[in-house]
Amino acid sequence: MKKTLAVGILTLSALTLAGCGTTTGERAGSGALMGAAGGALIGSLSAQAGAGALIGAGAGALGGYLYDQYQKGNID
């Protein structure tokens, strides 16, 4: 139940902040922050909040960067 709730919160948060920022740095930064928060939340379910935050931050930064490049028309 907790894991399902965490995934739902993470998904909702990611969708809410997907458009935050207009520059590459802002989008990657907001993605990293949301990824870290979601990763810590999910990681805390298995007593690995720190590792989850680091993994989530990396994934979020990459997601924010890719979203920025998509919005600029650099990738399809």
pLDDT of 74 above 60: yes
Q: What is the pTM of this model?
A: 0.66
- The model's pLDDT over 2-46, given as tens digits with 9 standing for 90+, comes to 666 666 666 666 555 555 677 888 888 888 888 888 888 888 878
Q: Backbone phi, then psi, for 73, in 5-degree steps? A: 85, 15
